[in-house]
């Protein structure tokens, strides 16, 4: 086998994160994508002793696991890679993937409570960030998601299973409206053009909707007619916020140079487990509201009785977890990097009449050691790269009896748990929560205790 060879094989094992490992003769084939049992054609990218990295070119035969009818964009859209597998089977696969990662690090001897499915496996997303572009070069304007493995080709995903009809109506009417206006979309290659993103957010428990149209400042277009068009749509939710964000940043990310309110207010409300949260256009909020309620309930169960305890909520975002704990706790301290989120967290705590919460802006790695009070319980919910080694040292240094680790990436989770083990913390219980049905992602909640 050598580079650029075209090979055919049957996909064997799906690893966490959407990669697969298959055996071809005495060689291990590593590939991005694929479902166990599929027969695929692939191009060899790199050969090492006993291993090869390949790029999938074509699915020759479906897997017997694929018995569910996917949406019309499946295999073209880069979104839901396992939508063709029935939901119960998806859960089984994810549960095993997480368990395998624990065993690989010699982490065993704990109570494994399996995986909890999302309350909804479709229509569960409360936020979509769509991009303007075209599907084929110089074709009509599209707005939607990137085609699988492509940076510039955009599909108007009007048949997406992850969002409700309000999202679809806003998406298709926006595509039609701007197609008629013949405005250019923004091209990342030369940084020229106007239309960049369309962000739609919904308060699932409050039925409030936000539409945020993101453009460059290169054209001075009057958005009044667009706003009127949106307000005339027949939507289930209340459209309480229509925003126009000017973004001249060079990176392919939504940032804000200027925010113009076209209609209503610049935030929506959401409720979680009876608590109120205001969501601003750029702040992080769990994208599956009903799933988040389950995740936080799970975390609360893992904590058990926390009455009169001092709790640290590290990587606190808008302070959701801390506030869920604050009802019973004596005091909650949160640390979060993004200043805007910290302001929102402190405001939300006031809104919920919680006077025992203090959210602080800072990097956990640098700031946590400065907290003066001794915690009885520490909760960490880091982003995908996990907790920095120095932060693990400082967190363990507080000597609290219990730590709850909520993770969106089990690969870094298990490495961090090994590190915590070096400081005397043993894994007591583990449970997975599927916040992202039909995609390869999964959330994991772990309780570790000081031995
Ligand atoms: N616990 C929150 C947010 C979890 S997402 C919730 O459930 O909603 C992870 C958060 O960590 C993000 O808000 C991100 O901004 C923050 N973050 C990333 N790196 C950080 C660091 N080094 N120090 C503090 N916060 C960080």
Q: Where are the domains of the chain?
A: 6-61, 89-120+288-450, 127-272
The pLDDT of residue 202:
98
Residues in contact with ligand 1 (CB, 6 Å cut-off): 284, 286, 315-318, 320-321, 335-338, 341, 363-365, 381, 383
| Residue 158, annotated as binding a ligand | no
CATH class of 127-272: mainly beta
Confidence at residue 253, expressed as pLDDT on a 0 to 100 scale: 85
Q: Annotation-wise, does 336 bind a ligand?
A: yes
- Tell me which CATH homologous superfamily contains domain 89-120+288-450: Vaccinia Virus protein VP39 (3.40.50.150)
Q: Give 10-residue mean pLDDT values along the chain (451 residues).
A: 96 95 96 96 96 96 97 92 97 97 96 98 98 92 91 92 98 97 94 97 98 98 98 98 97 91 97 94 92 97 92 96 95 95 94 97 97 96 97 97 97 98 98 97 97 90
Residue written as tokens 């919904």? 202
In this structure, what are the phi and psi dihedrals at residue 133, rounded to the nearest 5 degrees? 180, -150
Would you mind telling me the total number of residues written for the chain in this entry? 451
What burial class does residue 375 get, using C-beta atoms within 10 Å of its C-beta: 0-12 exposed, 13-18 middle, 19+ buried? buried
Q: What pLDDT does residue 65 have?
A: 97
User: How many CB atoms neighbour CB 355 within 10 A?
Assistant: 10
Any catalytic annotation for residue 408? yes
Residue 421 structure tokens = 């083990």
**pLDDT at residue 115, as a whole number:** 98
pLDDT for 149: 81
Assigned token pair, 289: 């509201």
Phi, psi of 346, deg, nearest 5:
-65, -40
pLDDT (0 to 100) of residue 22:
97
Among 317, 369, 444, name the best residue to mutate to test ligand 1's pocket (greatest count of ligand atoms within 8 A of Cβ): 317
Position 152 scores a pLDDT of 78
Q: Which is the CATH superfamily of the domain at 6-61?
A: Nucleic acid-binding proteins (2.40.50.140)
- Identify whether the C-beta of residue 389 lies closer than 8 Å to the C-beta of residue 416: no
- The reply to whether 89-120+288-450 and 127-272 are identical in fold is no
Residue 138: the pLDDT is 87
């Amino acid at each position: 086998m050598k580079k650029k060879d075209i090979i055919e094989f049957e996909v064997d094992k799906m690893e966490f994160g959407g990669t697969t490992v298959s055996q071809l003769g005495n060689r291990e084939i590593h590939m991005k994508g694929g479902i166990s049992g599929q027969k695929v054609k692939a191009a060899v990218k790199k050969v090492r002793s006993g291993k090869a990295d390949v790029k999938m070119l074509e699915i020759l035969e479906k897997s017997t696991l694929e018995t569910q009818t996917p949406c019309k964009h499946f295999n073209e859209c880069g979104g839901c890679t396992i939508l063709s597998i029935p939901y119960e089977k998806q859960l089984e696969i994810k549960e095993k993937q997480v368990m395998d990662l624990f065993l690989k690090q010699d982490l065993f001897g704990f109570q494994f409570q399996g995986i909890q499915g999302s309350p909804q496996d479709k229509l569960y997303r409360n936020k979509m960030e769509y991009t303007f572009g075209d599907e084929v070069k110089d074709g009509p304007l599209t707005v939607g998601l990137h085609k699988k493995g492509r940076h510039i080709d955009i599909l108007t995903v009007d048949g997406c299973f992850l969002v409700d009809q309000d999202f679809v109506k806003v998406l298709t009417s926006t595509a039609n409206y701007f197609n008629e206006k013949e405005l250019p979309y923004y091209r990342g290659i030369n940084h020229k053009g106007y239309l960049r993103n369309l962000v739609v957010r919904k308060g699932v428990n409050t039925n409030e909707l936000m539409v945020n149209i993101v453009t460059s400042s290169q054209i001075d277009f009057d958005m009044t007619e667009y706003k009127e068009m949106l307000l005339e749509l027949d939507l289930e939710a209340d459209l309480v916020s229509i925003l126009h964000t000017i973004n001249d940043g060079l990176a392919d990310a939504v940032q804000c140079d200027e925010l113009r309110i076209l209609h209503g207010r610049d935030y929506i409300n959401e409720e979680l487990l009876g608590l109120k949260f205001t969501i601003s256009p750029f702040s992080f909020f769990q994208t599956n509201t009903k799933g988040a309620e389950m995740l936080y309930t799970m975390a609360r169960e893992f904590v058990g009785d926390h009455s009169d305890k001092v709790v640290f909520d590290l990587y606190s975002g808008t302070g959701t977890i801390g506030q869920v704990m604050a009802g019973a706790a004596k005091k909650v301290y949160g640390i979060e990097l993004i200043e805007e989120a910290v302001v929102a967290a402190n405001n939300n705590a006031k809104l919920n009449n919680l006077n025992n919460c203090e959210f602080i802006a800072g990097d956990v790695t640098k700031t946590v050691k400065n907290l003066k009070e001794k915690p009885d319980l520490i909760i960490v919910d880091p982003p995908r790269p996990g907790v920095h080694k120095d932060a693990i040292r400082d967190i363990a240094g507080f000597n609290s009896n219990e730590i709850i680790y909520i993770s969106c990436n089990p690969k870094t989770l298990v490495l961090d748990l090994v590190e915590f083990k070096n400081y005397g913390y043993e894994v007591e219980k583990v449970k997975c929560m599927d916040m992202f049905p039909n995609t390869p992602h999964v959330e994991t909640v772990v309780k570790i205790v000081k031995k």
